[in-house]
Structure 1
Amino acid sequence: MPESGETARVELTAWRAARADYLARVEPWAVERTRRMARHEKHPVYDFLFEYYSFRPAHLLRWTPGSGVELVGATRADIAWTEFVEGDNALSLPAAAFPAHRLSYLVWAVGYLEAVLEREPSFACLGLHEWAMVYRDPNVRHPYVPLRLSRAETDAVVDSQPLRCTHYDAFRFFTPPAARLNRWELARAATADHDQPGCIHANMDLYRFAYKIAPFCPSDVVADAFDVARAAREVDMRASPYDLSGYGFAPVKIETRAGREEYVELQRGVADRARPVRERVLGVYRQLLARNNQRAAPSA
């Protein structure tokens, strides 16, 4: 999306190269997910990126430059998004095509993304959220993957450390006994009051913000957010109580001091990687909202 309100014309060779670069980044992950589904195979780490998040492999493979860009020489066969319009030997996506009934979401999202970006990061949760999801419960979220420790030992890890989860969409999966131990009783309506840029899940959710306004968010931003989400998910599950050695993941043993220190270092790495992506996503939202506000403003 161009910085100004003007439309940028991109020549055929340039936008085709951009599309090819994007597909080279995401296609291996989309294809492997599709193959697993055909084989009825589960993956406790990567399935999350296509099940918890609603952007399916076919959606991920649809390239877009975002709004305010004219793709010279492009045809309907080149762009899968129906929101693009034809004109002057080009296809483009006008900001005005964004649904009016979703403008209130843009307003909320800008406020949320700004609040998280400006907040001081915290690295005090020590990755205990996955442990809290199985605390004192005979059921587990990944029944086909064994726990690393016994049930009693797993519960003891939770009992030995304070729960300081700040992200509602992790907290809502806590078992009832674990939820009572968390420092905050989190609620959906107060998400913007607690989410902070050190949180593994808040950084993972940048992917949702990027694809949620597809095709108005440029695909390179979607790819950056997907990369952050994938890295965050790997850290998330390596620090979980599950034994993922069969999938090639070494555990981050947060039940030990060395493991907790390792987790904080990895968490900081994800946060550093996520910050410029959060800034880019916020920039896309701000520009899209501004352009639609200009459209809605009465003329003098």
Structure 2
Amino acid sequence: MRVLSTSEWRPLAEAHAARVDAFVQPHLSRRADQVTHPVHDFLFTYYSQRPAQLRRWHPGFGVGLEDAEEHAGLKGYAGDPVSVTTAYVVSQRPLLTQLHTLLTATAARAPQLGCFGLHEWAMVHRSAEHGTRHDRPLRLGAEGTDAVVESHRIACSHFDAFRFFTPTARPLNTLQPGRDDRPAFEQPGCLHAGMDLYKHAFRLTPMVPSDLVADCFELARDIRVLDMRAAPYDLADLGFEPVRIETAEGKREYAEAQRVFAERGAPLRRRLVEECERLLAAGEPQNS
């Protein structure tokens, strides 16, 4: 086990907090003022990782910290110097196996870039009947939005997006992903699969280093901006120029951005796979 002295690990912890604070602190200020933001609040409201948890630095399994009383009381830590225990890693084998299966299956597929963000449109199909997910006007109005949904082929592969489709939009999806068959559907071009790398990373906390979590967070933050720029909502007053996916030019713009995000996500997905494999190996019985 590598051991870090206080003078070594505290600057790392402070640098991590400063890195994520650029996004965390504006969110906390909005929350204090009871102001919501449909783009930037998503990573804190949809996902279960709280801002304080994101700010807390972890070195990952295999690293001990000297004089780290604040870590000693955290789940998974013990010893002197304090570190994530092998017993905790072993207890997480079901999660590690599940994520390894999902991540390797997703990585093995070629990115599909033809969905054009229509999942967000399908979530407000026939909004006059079902309502909308955000208290924002629809850029094309209710009838115009419905026309886009009904005139396009919808092929959403991500269950956690598909489950928010309105009842009238669900039958229009060419795929029917379920809660328990994610490895059979998820593909690396999907924006939500890219954002979920952040979810997978923080679920592996404190076993994985916080720089990996922060890298995945920053990717998810940037993907969310595209996700909502391509959505049917009018966000011009918030400074977001729409990606007009109902046009040929908008489709090209969306697909190119989607390709770039798939390329950014690939090494992060690979790192998560490697971490799962390292942690699964750490929990295996040793031969005498």
Say whether the fold is shared (TM-score over 0.5). yes
Q: Does the residue aligned with 1:9 lie in a helix, a strand or coil?
A: strand
TM-score (norm 2): 0.94
**Alignment of 1:213 onto 2:204:** yes
Q: In the alignment, is the contact (CA less than 8 A) between 1:68 and 1:92 conserved in 2?
A: yes
161-170 or 7-16, larger mean C-alpha shift: 7-16
1:140 positional shift: 0.4
TM-score (norm 1): 0.91
Q: In the alignment, is the contact (CA less than 8 A) between 2:115 and 2:156 conserved in 1?
A: yes
In structure 2, the partner of 1:153 is 144
Q: Give the count of matched residue pairs.
A: 286
In structure 2, the partner of 1:49 is 43
**Alignment of 1:142 onto 2:134:** yes
The amino acid of 1:30's aligned partner reads V
After the TM superposition, which parts of structure 1 deviate over 4 Å for at least 4 consecutive aligned residues?
Answer: none
* Whole-angstrom distance in 1 between the partners of 2:231 and 2:86: 42
The amino acid of 2:102's aligned partner reads Y
CA RMSD of aligned residues (A): 1.6
**Alignment of 1:173 onto 2:167:** no
Q: 2:243 aligns with which of 252, 258, 265?
A: 252
Unaligned runs of 5+ in 2: none
- 1:27-66 equivalences in 2 (<5 Å): 27-66=21-60
In structure 1, the partner of 2:70 is 77
Q: In the alignment, is the contact (CA less than 8 A) between 2:6 and 2:68 conserved in 1?
A: no
77-86 or 25-34, larger mean C-alpha shift: 77-86
- 1:163-242 equivalences in 2 (<5 Å): 163-242=154-233
The amino acid of 1:65's aligned partner reads P
* Whole-angstrom distance in 2 between the partners of 1:67 and 1:36: 35
Residues 72-108 of structure 1, C-alpha deviation per residue, up to 9 Å, x if partnerless? x332136773432232xx32222322362x4222111
**Alignment of 1:124 onto 2:114:** yes
- 1:91-106 equivalences in 2 (<5 Å): 91-98=82-89, 100=91, 102-106=92-96
Residues 126-145 of structure 1, C-alpha deviation per residue, up to 9 Å, x if partnerless? 110000001113200002x1
1:156 positional shift: 0.8
Q: In the alignment, is the contact (CA less than 8 A) between 1:228 and 1:274 conserved in 2?
A: yes
Q: In the alignment, is the contact (CA less than 8 A) between 2:158 and 2:177 conserved in 1?
A: yes
Q: In the alignment, is the contact (CA less than 8 A) between 1:204 and 1:233 conserved in 2?
A: yes
The amino acid of 1:260's aligned partner reads K
1:231 positional shift: 0.9
* Whole-angstrom distance in 2 between the partners of 1:11 and 1:279: 30
In structure 2, the partner of 1:3 is none
1:49 positional shift: 0.3
Q: In the alignment, is the contact (CA less than 8 A) between 1:63 and 1:79 conserved in 2?
A: no
**Alignment of 1:110 onto 2:100:** yes
Identical pairs, percent: 43
Unaligned runs of 5+ in 1: 1-6
* Whole-angstrom distance in 2 between the partners of 1:82 and 1:256: 50
Q: Does the residue aligned with 2:133 lie in a helix, a strand or coil?
A: coil
**Alignment of 1:25 onto 2:32:** no
* Whole-angstrom distance in 2 between the partners of 1:289 and 1:146: 48
